Amino acid sequence: MLRGLFRNLGAVLRGRAIIDDDLLEELEAALIQADVSAALAAQMVEEIREQAETEHISEPHQLIGLLRDQVQRMLAPYEAPLNSGADSPTTFLVLGVNGGGKTTTVAKVAHWYQAAGNKVMMVAADTFRAAAIEQLEIWAQRVGCDMVRQQPGSDPAAVVYDALKAARARGHNLVIIDTAGRLPTKRNLMEELAKIGRVIERELGRRADERLLVIDATTGQNAINQARQFHDTLDLTGLIIAKLDGTAKGGIVLSITDELELPIKLVGIGESLDALQIFSAQQFADQMFE
């Protein structure tokens, strides 16, 4: 359960008598503080101001309803289900910066599909970080799904190649690939991701059915540039916002969809296997002021 993603907005509106320029400026500042980009915050508040005027809304607390509807409207186009492949195995490639929540998300998604009766395989394509393979292995045991691994330090693209062959041979219908955390400014590491992408395309005859960037909701505006760079390399199909339970700054969700126009497929709301939700614009907007 999420609460108060825009906690500070409520604080601005509470105890105010009238809607004036002062209040609207504070509202804009509060949006920016909640990780909405400055340009978008200005645009949102301007829209609210005009709407309040035409609808003769004068009570500050009524702005909450306007904001909630506005956020819901803004985000509704970015709801989208996960793609499944034309042929088995459906393949998801999960990527992102260090520590964003990739491995945990892989486990949650695996758990979800496995519980729905799919035969899921996890792929330990983070061969770089010490203990990354063991971490995924523990998750695979908990989920009760198979995992393909190689030695630490081996070529991640080769692990993926093996995994896709094994999935076909053993009848897995969903392959979820965990990759090493990386900064998108690191050329060689981005090339490594591109290579994984090419191996998948060669083996499946199509690109990975989902190329998912996991974004840590607590990262702030940085996340937008990073996402753009990952998108340039892998032509992302969607975003997963992890750690949304750990922030009062839900604004990143607005900024990033506005900038990148990519769907948000899932949100992570905790560390356990079931702390995963399909992204809902309505739910997100409702939880803003709770």
Ligand X SMILES: Nc1nc2c(ncn2[C@@H]2O[C@H](COP(=O)(O)OP(=O)(O)OP(=O)(O)O)[C@@H](O)[C@H]2O)c(=O)[nH]1
Neighbours of 153 (CB within 10 A): 7
List the strands of the sheet with 146-148, edge to edge. 146-148, 120-125, 174-179, 90-95, 210-216, 238-242, 264-268, 276-278
- Number of residues interacting with ligand X: please give it, by CB under 6 A: 21
CB of 96 to ligand X, least distance (A): 6
CB of 127 to ligand X, least distance (A): 11
Can residue 127 be called a binding residue for Mg ion (CB under 5 A)?
Answer: no
Contact (Cβ atoms closer than 8 angstroms) between residue 243 and residue 268: yes
**Pick 128 or 289: Cβ nearer Mg ion:** 128
- Print the binding letters for residues 116-135 with ligand X: x by CB under 6 A, - otherwise: ----------x--x--x---
Pick from 60, 85, 156, 181: which binds ligand X (CB under 6 A)? 181
Which of 5, 270, 277, 281 touches ligand X by CB under 6 A?
Answer: 270
Task: Report cis status (omega within 30 of 0) of the bond before 89.
Answer: yes
| Minimum CB–partner distance for residue 123 and Mg ion (Å) | 12
For residue 8 the two structure tokens come to 């500070």
Q: What angle do CA 185, 190, 193 make, to 5 degrees?
A: 155
> 67 vs 93, which CB is nearer to Mg ion?
93
Residue whose pair of structure tokens reads 């009238």 in the numeric block: 18
Q: What is the nearest approach in angstroms of Mg ion to the Cβ of residue 153?
A: 16
In 144-286, beta strands by DSSP E: 146-148, 174-179, 210-216, 238-242, 264-268, 276-278
> Interface with Mg ion includes 103 (CB under 5 A)?
yes
Give the Cα-Cα-Cα angle 139, 145, 146 (nearest 5 degrees): 100
Nearer to ligand X by Cβ, of 99 and 171: the residue is 99
* Interacting residues with ligand X (CB under 6 A): 96, 98-104, 126, 129, 132, 181, 242-243, 245-246, 268-271, 275
* Interacting residues with Mg ion (CB under 5 A): 102-103
